[in-house]
Structure 1
């Protein structure tokens, strides 16, 4: 499988996606979900060659991002069906699912709703979907052009403020071995919330890459890749 950008029709919209790796690689397909405001290109870097040697890799632009359609509807209960349809159209029955930040929220909900489709789950710098106190400000669209639909940020901020309790409950339905990777005290996300998520997921654990901040796979790629290799290679999970 050569690298490229393709599109696929799912749920009445078009999703763009990038591919890396060998089409007939024996490893389980890897699906990478980017953070808010980014796209599948965000994953390009040292991690890709290491994974692509053994796994076909798929990195979609989630709806409202990049080259995918911007339909204006961005509820998390829409994004999870998008991912299911994406896997079905591409014939990906069981995957290793890796998400960063916003993408990790989508990944976690999907893994709880469709546990049979996820062999292993990695959540990088994932926000806990618990009510925020104080609530997050819902900001107006800036004047300058954006690389994603600003309405998506507004809707996600609203969902962060008053999340559906079902999303937190779904963590207990995840059956895949799950690795949460936190960026330590330099991250803006509460690391204790990620630790609570790791405790709630039946086969979950957490590792912390200190001083990595929110962009662990970008700012500390060696440490991120090392934790991922250990997690994927032999089934062992790094200790808390």
Structure 2
């Protein structure tokens, strides 16, 4: 079987620094990181993929959280990235979380920006395509929401076993995600930290400077 290959753009950074991978949220693509990727690349190489079925990546199923996870790990292999900093927004955060559970030795640090916690969320399945993503495969959304509404219960239990530093970035009361559960998720992780930037679900697009400062402070303090 031919392995699925994610579209990915890379920005060079200082030699010897741990590379960073930026994962976008559902209904978007890697362009959501256009403002911040060059800033992060001042300190490290940065890689910005488009998840399966989104952006420049082929619209080829199957879709699902564990599929996205495996695509990400395959990308690390293809780029010969032994160890990375993973930064994921929303869907990308959930994928980064699953990749860390599956291969903790590949992850130096993890940033979860408005990441849906692995508890049943009861999100209704909407119809139509997100207006922000003209190349978004409509089959993605129901597959993703099936997992968010019925996650593997082991994932919440395994939060306490994550061995790497984790920054949970919450968007505050205007986010649709349960902020109290995000706080509990951060507290459950051994080396978990919580920061709230109260701009809603789209933290890094709405408050790029505050988000970048929070990430860099977290990484500098590891």
The alpha-carbon distance between structure 1 residues 143 and 116, as it changes in their structure 2 partners (threshold 3 A), is closer
1:208 to 188, 196, 217: 196
- Tell which deviates more after alignment, 226-235 or 53-62: 226-235
1:28 alignment partner in structure 2: 18
2:164 alignment partner in structure 1: 176
1:1-240 maps to which residues of 2 (within 5 A)? 12-22=3-13, 25-45=15-35, 47-132=36-121, 135-141=122-128, 146-210=134-198, 212-235=199-222
Preserved CA contact (<8 Å) 2:53 2:135 = no
Unaligned runs of 5+ in 1: 1-9, 236-240
Task: Tell me the alpha carbon deviations over residues 107-129 of structure 1, each in whole angstroms, 9 at most, x when there is no partner.
Answer: 01111111111001000011112
Distance in structure 2 (CA, Å) of the matches to 1:75 and 1:142: 17
Distance in structure 2 (CA, Å) of the matches to 1:222 and 1:120: 20
The alpha-carbon distance between structure 1 residues 207 and 79, as it changes in their structure 2 partners (threshold 3 A), is same
Distance in structure 2 (CA, Å) of the matches to 1:142 and 1:65: 12
The alpha-carbon distance between structure 1 residues 142 and 126, as it changes in their structure 2 partners (threshold 3 A), is closer
Distance in structure 2 (CA, Å) of the matches to 1:110 and 1:143: 26
Per the TM alignment, residue 12 of structure 1 is displaced from its structure 2 partner at its CA by 2.1
Q: TM-score, normalised by structure 1?
A: 0.86
Preserved CA contact (<8 Å) 2:89 2:112 = yes
Per the TM alignment, residue 55 of structure 1 is displaced from its structure 2 partner at its CA by 0.5
Distance in structure 1 (CA, Å) of the matches to 2:205 and 2:124: 27
Task: Tell me the alpha carbon deviations over residues 182-222 of structure 1, each in whole angstroms, 9 at most, x when there is no partner.
Answer: 11112111111111110121110101112x11111111111
Unaligned runs of 5+ in 2: none
The alpha-carbon distance between structure 1 residues 11 and 128, as it changes in their structure 2 partners (threshold 3 A), is farther
- Greater RCO, CA 8 A, separation 6+: 2
Preserved CA contact (<8 Å) 1:115 1:173 = no
Per the TM alignment, residue 147 of structure 1 is displaced from its structure 2 partner at its CA by 2.4
Preserved CA contact (<8 Å) 1:11 1:85 = no
Distance in structure 1 (CA, Å) of the matches to 2:130 and 2:195: 39
Preserved CA contact (<8 Å) 2:24 2:91 = yes
